[in-house]
Amino acid sequence: MATAWGTIVMSIAATGALDVMGTPLVSLGTIKEDSMSIASEDGGIMQLFGTGHVLVDELKNEPSVKINATLIGLTNAKQFWTMDAVATDQVKSLIKSGNFSVRFASAVVGSDTFEAPKCVISGTPVFSEKEGWTVNVEITILLGAAGYLFEFGTVAA
């Protein structure tokens, strides 16, 4: 496997029928350097105790997986918000229903790709004097009808 250094390209599409990877995948835009990460959050734990507070059984729920990144500029983030149908630059809500497929990879041939067919994406606008407008994007990976959370592939030549 080649080291995945270099520019990371993240692409999205509306999730396909039966929760398969959507097509065509379109670039999400420029990701701010050092802003992208994948993290998991522990699932809930159910515990059953007997008398004397003795732990008898425990069930750990599946953790959730989230991707966080900061996009430079507002243009590509508007697709995650509910916009006014007439005044098309007016944001009515930062929430929009619908699922997206997400793929990201380095441009290095032979490096790994990451593909998640069913995700929920939200974006929060941020402004600073130094960087102008950016959008903090949070992607939560969902288990869909396809039966898996994500898969790895390889960047082809």
- Residues 129, 12: Cα–Cα separation, whole Å: 29
Global pTM reads 0.83
Cis peptide before 24 (omega within 30 of 0): yes
The rounded average pLDDT for each run of 10 residues, N- to C-terminus, in the chain (157 residues) is 73 93 92 92 91 93 93 84 84 89 89 93 93 93 94 88
Which helix (H) or strand (E) element contains residue 11? strand 8-14
Tokens linked to 12: 């999205």
Question: Domains in the chain and their CATH numbers?
Answer: 9-40+61-154 (2.30.110)
Residues 6+ apart with CB under 8 A from 156: 109
